[in-house]
Amino acid sequence: MKEEARIILMADMNAFFASCHQSINPTLRNKPIIVGGSLTDKRKGLVIACSYEAKRKGVYTTQSVYQARKCCPDAIFVQRDHSLYHSISSKIMEFLRLIGPTEVASIDEAYIDITERSSNGPHPIVIARYIQEKLWEKIHIPCSIGIGPNKIISKMASEVKKTQGIVQMGVKQFMTYYHPRPLNELYGCGAATEERLAKNGMKTIGDLAKADLLVLRALLGKRGELLHQYANGRSSSAVDEEREKGDKTIGKETTFNEDTADSNIILGIAKQMVQRLSGRLQEKNKKARTVSIVYKTERIGRSYTKSLTLSAPTHDASLILQAARTLYLDHLNETPIRLFGIRLSNLDDTQYDQLSLLDLDLKY
């Protein structure tokens, strides 16, 4: 099926962790909620998540609790409850699978292919509104929905109107809206990548979309090609129903005695981890398509994950390390962390290698 004939919907739960607490406790609704903080000292710790009522007063994720209290003195603090979040997420995904083939992107996001359902009658926006209304009515979870001909457009359309917005875009609408906007609004473009592109005259998504692929390959390797596709509203990956059920992962992590932001130490550890993980992949005759870094910003607390999906699966240590290094520089450079790890997922069996012309100049 041609890409333009597909209709992909991205459902993005709004302020999910805070919304889960508001879902089970009606007294917390419409109030500034902050998830996080220290159990032993109310002045310490970090904000793990917050409601939009708190965001409007200047609270943001990873902010210190001390600063959050100054921004929002009337905030209500609740402790994280991962069993609650996973329970509610499971209910949401179960419901979305009734709508159409569903790919779980994260605990609070999913892609749904509504091509067949929409072709039989209901307009995509009608389907999106139904999803919003049912999630709010049944479990009091708000969500924003993006609709597009592929996953990248639906993902970025879901960011346009929060909370509880519905935005549908085709390729032309995507370009009209996003091309004048800064690179930091492009999915997958972190701060370090944005800075590198800006030094080469690319400051907007439109600049990147019109850039020479040879220049992008030289700057960013294969990732430059992927971001170029995204900037032009192109995405070849289909909704994968098996992604959550079929994924197996391998990984390694280490906890530091104290917080460290020393990139030389962290990237040195990353290199050692990648060598071991690459060896394990080869022993298992597998290749990984997705590289993730895992980290904690406090000793006792939630771990965070940043991921990058490669254009082709690999067990090459140098390619995996380059992806991990890119993720670290884009998301964690100069950030003090207590735990660091690398995780490989989307593992493919590799009985043989299928070569293509693109493999000949693989730089990423």
Which positions are annotated as active-site residues?
A: 109
Number of other CB atoms surrounding residue 133 within 10 Å: 11
Residue identified by tokens 């091509």 is 115
- DSSP readout, 175-195? HHHHTTSBGGGSTT--HHHHH
CA distance to 65, 336, 346, per residue, from 68 (Å): 5, 19, 37
Closest CA to 187 of 6, 362, 12: 12
Residue 248 and residue 286: Cα distance in Å, rounded?
Answer: 11
Burial class (CB in 10 A: 0-12, 13-18, 19+), 4: exposed
Cis peptide leading into residue 163 (ω within 30°): yes
Backbone angles phi, psi at 297, to 5 degrees: -100, 0
CB contact burial 261-286 (16+ within 10 A = b; e otherwise): eebeebbebbeebbeebbeebeeeeb
Number of other CB atoms surrounding residue 301 within 10 Å: 17
Residue 58 and residue 48: Cα distance in Å, rounded?
Answer: 14
Number of other CB atoms surrounding residue 44 within 10 Å: 13
β-pair partners for 291: 308, 344
Type of residue found at 96: L
Tokens describing residue 305: 């994950």
**Please, what is the end-to-end C-alpha distance for the chain in angstroms?**
29
Tokens describing residue 55: 């965001």
Tokens describing residue 156: 């970025």
Closest CA to 101 of 88, 115, 121, 91: 115
Type of residue found at 302: R
